[in-house]
Amino acid sequence: MFFRRRQEASNMSDEEKLKQLHEKFERTRNLKGIALRIFTIIAVVMSIYHLYSSGIRMLPQIQHKAIHLSLALALTYFVYPATARQKNRLPWYDILCIVVSLFIGAYITVDYLNIVYRLGDPTTLDLILGGLAIILVLEATRRTMGWPLVIVALVFLAYAAFGQYIPGALGHKGYSIKRIIEHMFLTSEGIYGVAIYVTSTFVFVFILLGSFLGETGGAQSFIDLAFSLTGRYRGGPAKAAVIGSGLMGTISGSSFANVAGTGTFTIPLMKNVGYKPEFAGGVEAAASSGGQIMPPIMGAAAFIMAEMTGVPYGKLIIYAAIPAVLYYVSVFLMVDLEAAKLGLSGLSKEELPGFMDVLKKGAFLLMAPASIFYMLLKGYSPIKASFTAVVIVIVASMFRKETRLNIPRLISALEKGARASLSVIAACAVAGLIVGTVTLTGLGLKFADLIVTLANGQLYPALVLTMIASIIMGMGMPTTALYIILGSMVAPALVLMDVPIVAAHLFIFYFGCFAAVTPPVALSSYLAAAIAKADSVRTALSGLKLASAAFILPFIFALSPELLLINTSPIKTVRVVGSALIGVFALGSALENYMMGKLVLIERIFMFIAALVLIKPGIVTDIAGLVIVLIIGFTRYFKNKKITIKETEVIR
């Protein structure tokens, strides 16, 4: 019954609705005829090239990154128009941009040895192509991500050119346009820096993995598995949305893609069982945003984190695991409290998939994400892990007729994977301009010193300042680009104050991720509101409330790295995780105004205080928080018991 309903839910009408939502939030061109064929050929070639590079042989870094970015820029100018009026045509200047993008990639690929030899003495052609590359990257980012990130990049470039006019510690000697272009185009610290290296190696292949799973039905298996486990309990669809979006996040790493992929099914079901549209949209937005912090993939920013911190990615996902699980426990708990408050029930057995049916239909496709965990923990590189996972999906899909990849579906998966990567690549390329400015001018160390000075050398104020900077800069900026900027400018300040480097980078990573549900720019929430047909502001506030644990957990692991399994013992880890769980429960009860019944105002205030107290590690604060929760818990228990006795006496 469930599988038939799910198939009906994914029919053409729903696909059209989803397409309309995508068009509302992501403006793309309707390619036709020869333009569509050329785009498809380039996209398929790009995907095949990356599979070959990750699994068989990779060209030297300079060549590989140049090919990667030039193909991405060409595809971007194919599919993203300059204005909405050009959605149905490909103007001559976009064709020119496509040709120039491909020429720049070919130029670096063919002449890369000479470029290396003449570093520091660029030719006129080098500078012309470098200037064009910067313009193309900025315009591609504007088309895919909007103005905010472009404006930030332009401000940084202006800082590099005119920093000599800035008084005080933030000023510098100033750099010529020639020097800036050379640094941004011909070195590995600008456009072709760490971010583009990461997207060109394993991030692209992980995105391709998500495309293959979507084409074969593996992504749907995550949702079906979640419904089979939780659907029959109170508020079941909302709990399934939490688990399903978390599982989807392990392969997509994109909150927007998670909302689009799972929300069209989970949100209507949440509304059907009694959740308000705004709450249903908020659940999907909060759960989907958490996909970026959930191992093993965690989105492009996590791979860049591994490069910037020097921590192997296999270790990084272990460090990140407990906070990510705690976050989903928090969202799950608040969903359950809301269901209890509203007196909701779950779906009937006939409406749900059987657990064994799910395993029979899609378990073999779930081997791909499992293989990533295994290979990373065994010490294999993310490049090999991503390639192996794609191969497993392709091979496993052949076991069933419904999932088998024929030629059209294979081409579709390759094309969709390349298309899905464009916004990430553009964001990383323009972030390279920002990082290039930081390395050229030494701004990173200056900014870190400024934070330490403003915080007067105290860790708590420094954490708060860092949080504020992360949230403000994260509004309207993609997580990957935001992390690159903050990782090079802000994280060093926390490291200077003895926060472990992994904890410092995860701290800013969390706030960067959850900018997606932070009003006024909460795109994931707005997409969920559109699907739920709900008020966008109320949906955004609901998503922010449900994601509130993400604003507390970073403080816990920054102050107590045992939560990340850093420099700890089993006893310390259990104590820190236990206090974090109690804190998450206290926060959820306070925000949902429910704990064995509705709380009175004073109880709600004390539960919130307990959550805040449990942020600070230590025996005294842990005991204080636990005592507050226990007192309120026992108070609620005895109140309910008295009410039950009175009701029984009335009935008698």
Pick the closest to residue 63 from 196, 202, 209, 204 (CA basis): 196
| Residue 413 vs residues 47, 217, 375, 421, 616: alpha-carbon distances, Å | 9, 12, 24, 12, 47
Q: What is the pLDDT at residue 413? A: 93
Q: What is the pLDDT at residue 7? A: 44
- CA distance between the termini of the chain: 44
Residue range 311-333: mean pLDDT, rounded:
89
Pick the closest to residue 297 from 198, 216, 223 (CA basis): 198
Q: What is the pLDDT at residue 14? A: 45
Residue range 452-470: mean pLDDT, rounded:
86
Q: What is the pLDDT at residue 256? A: 67
Q: What is the pLDDT at residue 178? A: 94
Residue range 440-467: mean pLDDT, rounded:
85
Residue range 141-169: mean pLDDT, rounded:
90
- The whole-model pTM stands at 0.80
Q: What is the mean pLDDT of the chain?
A: 84
Q: Would the pLDDT of 3 be above 50?
A: no
Query: Which residue do the tokens 């790009």 mark?
Result: 46
Lowest mean pLDDT among 53-62, 289-298, 545-554: 289-298
pLDDT tens by residue, 553-602: 898 888 888 888 888 788 888 888 888 888 888 988 888 888 888 888 89
Q: What six digits make up the tokens of 408?
A: 């059209």
Q: What is the pLDDT at residue 410? A: 94
Residues 6+ apart with CB under 8 A from 244: 222, 223, 225, 226, 227, 262, 266, 287
Pick the closest to residue 626 from 577, 594, 586, 574 (CA basis): 586
> Residue 475 — pLDDT band, cuts 50, 70, 90?
low
Q: Would the pLDDT of 537 be above 70?
A: yes
Distance, in Å, from the CA atom of 97 to the CA atom of 541, rounded to the nearest integer, reads 41
Residue range 83-110: mean pLDDT, rounded:
93
Q: What does the DSSP 8-state code read for residue 200?
A: I
At 156 the three-state DSSP class reads helix
Distance, in Å, from the CA atom of 234 to the CA atom of 241, rounded to the nearest integer, reads 13
Q: What six digits make up the tokens of 617?
A: 């590690």
pLDDT tens by residue, 156-170: 999 999 999 998 878
Distance, in Å, from the CA atom of 443 to the CA atom of 486, rounded to the nearest integer, reads 12
Cα dihedral across residues 431, 433, 438, 439: positive or negative: positive
Q: Return the percentage of the chain with pLDDT > 70, whole number.
A: 90
